[in-house]
A and B are shown apart, each in its own frame.
Chain A
Amino acid sequence: MRLELIARPSPLRLIGFPMLALALTVVFGSSLALLAGANPFQTLGLILRGAAGSQFALLETLNRATPLIFTGLAVAVAFRAKLWNIGAEAQLYAGALMAVLIGTGALGWPSGLLLPAMAGAAMLAGALVLLGPALLKTRFGVDEVVTTLLFNFIMLLFISMLLEGPLKDPMGMGWPQSSRLIPEARLPRIVEGLRLHWGFALALIAAGVVWVIQSRTTLGYEMRAVGANRQAAEFAGIPVGRVMLKTALLSGGLAALAGFSEVAGLKGNLTLDLSPGFGYTGIIVAMLALLNPIGVVVSAIFVAGVFVGADSMSRAAGVPTYIANIMLATALLTMVLAIALTRYRVRWD
């Protein structure tokens, strides 16, 4: 069996295979619902309605997509340069921590100054969190998959320590949570009365900025070159190590914005359950988007929709929400295969 590169894939191929992947995902998810004793058509309908069936549902999906866009972009930027950042979760919490440190009354600035300061500090913290593993990689060849992954646990335990100690909310009735942000530190809603905060708009802007960086700047060209062929990049005189570090700073900063936006836009304080694995789900989002920053927005909304829809379906039909995780995993696997099949033909000989 061999794979043959197709020079010019037909439109049918480009659309057909991803559609087939989606169909397979739906069929597989439905058969699981059947196993759980529910009517698969009803289940599917409930998921769709829960994700996009009303204004409320749609905004809920977009709210859930916001942190996923940030972490998806963080992963997409890093993976494009073959810097395997599995630590978006840690960078997210670093960003959330900075938002809380600055936004709970330490600075009494007006919103117009306070929010940019919080976002900036968050990005800086996230960037520094990833800089460590990146330096270990470029200097000593330490595998960043291991270091960034393990850093997630270090960060979570560190936050846990802070929430049990110095950052503990004196009014929190003993819960491990931080004090609440002052009103000036909250991201306002985009439209008054609608439950969608400015974090979503910021995420869209971030996606646009990443797209511009990748396609229009020398840094983006360098990052893509280093990722596509490190040896050729070195030969051409691209400073591979420095590009890796810059990539790490950008990626860490983007992931940290997810933490900032969740705290300032949605939760209002820092708790240990701020992120139900947004950092890890960001990997799925980025892979589904083929690391394309605009694609990240689309795939983040799709992934968020599956989660939100499955939550609502689970409440209505009594099918476990795990079905969402399984559907996403199926979607990822079939989609990656389908995308390979749009570019390669399988030859059996």
Chain B
Amino acid sequence: MRPEMGAQGPVLRLDGITKRFGALVANDAISVTLWPGEVIALLGENGAGKTTLMNILFGHYTADEGSVEVFGAPLPQGNPRAALAAGVGMVHQHFTLADNLTVLENVILGTQPLWGARLDMAGARAKLARLAEDFGLAVDPDARLGTLSVGERQRVEILKALYRDARILILDEPTAVLTPQQAEALFAALRKMVAQGLSIIFISHKLHEVMAIASRVVVLRHGKLVGEVAVADTNPGALAEMMVGARITPPELRAAAPGATLLELRTVSTPDRGTARGLRKVDLALREGTITGLAGVSGNGQGALADLIAGLEHLSGGEMLVHGAEPVTWSVAHALNAGIGRIPEDRHKTGTIADFSLTENAILERYRRPPFARRGWMDWGAARGFTDTVIRSYDVRCPGPETRIRLLSGGNMQKLILGRAMEGAPKIILANQPVRGLDIGAITFVQTQLLAARDQGAAVLLISEDLDEILTLSDIIHVISEGRLSPPFARGTMSAADLGRWMAGEGFERGQDAA
């Protein structure tokens, strides 16, 4: 459904863009054309060059070769203001809004003359209202941003771009923080924009969304443009293959054999920590040979639950049973002694120490115990031996155990963390966002390992914001919303839309709110 080209030329032309970082070619002669009133999806794995390309368009980087044309006029490179002035707006994955300002103030921030005596608030308000009306992006202009939900903040971010008269909108992974229903509402707004002649570049790696919103898909792999197809002529499987460059075999799934309950929470509550929400009377049972998936929009108490099981958080109510008994005290050491393998949410901030070697990182959770230490003295030989084993068994690609871990890719870093967590054959596994940001090869590896652990009788708690991942891997699914936990749902009984309603807070008993 390519729009009529008619008298109008393309709104945007990237022509032969090449960008090198040292030996790495991040963008290799990429040409993309965007026509008025169309949505194209930019698809690719992490590190495929999507972000680099958009950063060149937006003036954050200068291309080594190639040129950018907006509405037929060449765009001077290396100047974000030029892109904005030419009508290119970008909605970043991480919002660039000020919490202590109102919606209206956020939107006009930077658009008014610096030395003007007063702000033209009335005019701005009218313009914002008109935009919100036109595109169905309703939001209270006087609300403080800090009080808004993530979905509303995203609307503000989009309005901000539209307010600057953007005719080309770039959205970087816009649905990562939304429930399926919120994503649908976003798509409806995007369709209205397109109907009014705006053009949109939609960056994503979620295939069904790409299929739903885009008319054309541009696929990048290792910095090269490997394919450009109309959505009507393709399917998710073909796109995935194009993205990865190989046939994808999803991890093999055997029937679950649930056994005894290894970890149980009974009406457990935990305190709120600043803006991080605690748990509200949560009931949860992790059973042998089962993957329990936890779905939910980020920031709804996943952190508290993960911290509790990892030994970093304490109960403020209810009881927790580990291997059938209530621990007298609870700490990281107790969690490790109870055989809990832990994969933390953020591998850079909490999972590893960037300036430590692989060896020093591999023993982080057991450095005090033999064979790694005796009476306070480290045995680095034993530590290196252990690290070598992990490197080999978990296929960690690295120059050697003495390499500083910051030089490893995210996938290899995660494999080391996985190896560290799994080496003691843990009975309970906490996997918090275990594949976020990894490429498909690493994703498959990590998921296969988790499934293998389940088949050998481990109880796995899988926390993820990716519903597809939850639906594929979990035998039991819970949804978490505002610290409350839904009842358990068995595999196959819930659709993504069903889960989405729970994620939005529907279905929870009123009584739970009072807690």
A residues adjacent to B (C-beta < 8 A) = 4-5, 7, 216-222, 224-225, 228-229, 231-238, 349
**Known contacts A216-B377, A229-B353; is-contact A236 B365 (Cβ 8 Å):** yes
Q: Which residues of B contact A7 (CB under 8 A)?
A: 407
Q: Which residues of B contact A218 (CB under 8 A)?
A: 367-368, 373, 376-378
Is the CB–CB distance between A235 and B351 below 8 Å? yes
A219: which of B333, B360, B376, B380 is its contact (CB, 8 Å)?
A: B376
Expressed in whole angstroms, the Cα–Cα distance for A308 and B62 within the complex equals 52
B356: which of A216, A222, A225 is its contact (CB, 8 Å)?
A: A225
Q: Which residues of B contact A236 (CB under 8 A)?
A: 332, 364-365
* B350 lies within 8 A of chain A by Cβ: yes
* B133 lies within 8 A of chain A by Cβ: no
Is the CB–CB distance between B332 and A237 below 8 Å? yes
8 contacts between A and B (CB under 8 A): A216-B377, A217-B377, A217-B378, A219-B376, A225-B356, A225-B364, A229-B353, A235-B351
Is the CB–CB distance between A349 and B365 below 8 Å? no
Q: Which residue of A lies closest to B360 (CB)?
A: A221
Expressed in whole angstroms, the Cα–Cα distance for A219 and B368 within the complex equals 9
**Known contacts A228-B354, A236-B364; is-contact A217 B376 (Cβ 8 Å):** yes
- Per the 8 Å Cβ criterion, residues 407-454 of B in contact with A are 407
Q: Which residue of B lies closest to A235 (CB)?
A: B350
* B406 lies within 8 A of chain A by Cβ: yes
Q: Which residue of A lies closest to B361 (CB)?
A: A232
Expressed in whole angstroms, the Cα–Cα distance for A182 and B367 within the complex equals 47
Expressed in whole angstroms, the Cα–Cα distance for A244 and B336 within the complex equals 23
Q: Which residues of B contact A217 (CB under 8 A)?
A: 376-378
B residues adjacent to A (C-beta < 8 A) = 21-22, 61-62, 78, 310-312, 331-333, 335-336, 342, 344, 349-356, 360, 364-365, 367-368, 373, 376-378, 380, 406-407
Is the CB–CB distance between A232 and B352 below 8 Å? yes
Expressed in whole angstroms, the Cα–Cα distance for A260 and B378 within the complex equals 32
Is the CB–CB distance between A4 and B356 below 8 Å? no
Q: Which residues of A contact B61 (CB under 8 A)?
A: 349
A232: which of B22, B349, B367, B376 is its contact (CB, 8 Å)?
A: B349
Is the CB–CB distance between A235 and B310 below 8 Å? yes
**Known contacts A229-B354, A232-B352, A235-B332; is-contact A5 B310 (Cβ 8 Å):** no
CB distance from A9 to the nearest CB of B (A): 13
CB distance from B283 to the nearest CB of A (A): 26
Is the CB–CB distance between A349 and B62 below 8 Å? yes
Q: Which residue of B lies closest to A349 (CB)?
A: B62
**Known contacts A216-B378, A221-B378; is-contact A237 B353 (Cβ 8 Å):** no
B333: which of A221, A222, A237 is its contact (CB, 8 Å)?
A: A237
Expressed in whole angstroms, the Cα–Cα distance for A217 and B380 within the complex equals 10
Expressed in whole angstroms, the Cα–Cα distance for A7 and B342 within the complex equals 29
Is the CB–CB distance between A237 and B378 below 8 Å? no
Is the CB–CB distance between A232 and B62 below 8 Å? no
CB distance from B465 to the nearest CB of A (A): 20
Expressed in whole angstroms, the Cα–Cα distance for A232 and B365 within the complex equals 10
**Known contacts A218-B367, A228-B354; is-contact A235 B333 (Cβ 8 Å):** no
Q: Which residues of A contact B333 (CB under 8 A)?
A: 237
Is the CB–CB distance between A235 and B344 below 8 Å? yes
Is the CB–CB distance between B373 and A237 below 8 Å? no
Q: Which residue of B lies closest to A225 (CB)?
A: B353
Q: Which residues of A contact B311 (CB under 8 A)?
A: 237
Expressed in whole angstroms, the Cα–Cα distance for A229 and B352 within the complex equals 8
A349: which of B78, B344, B352 is its contact (CB, 8 Å)?
A: B78
Q: Which residue of B lies closest to A213 (CB)?
A: B376
**Known contacts A228-B356, A349-B62; is-contact A5 B349 (Cβ 8 Å):** no
CB distance from B203 to the nearest CB of A (A): 22
Is the CB–CB distance between A233 and B365 below 8 Å? no
Q: Which residues of B contact A233 (CB under 8 A)?
A: 353, 364
CB distance from A290 to the nearest CB of B (A): 12
Q: Which residues of A contact B354 (CB under 8 A)?
A: 228-229
Expressed in whole angstroms, the Cα–Cα distance for A237 and B421 within the complex equals 13
Q: Which residues of B contact A234 (CB under 8 A)?
A: 312, 332, 350
Q: Which residues of A contact B356 (CB under 8 A)?
A: 224-225, 228-229
Is the CB–CB distance between A232 and B351 below 8 Å? yes
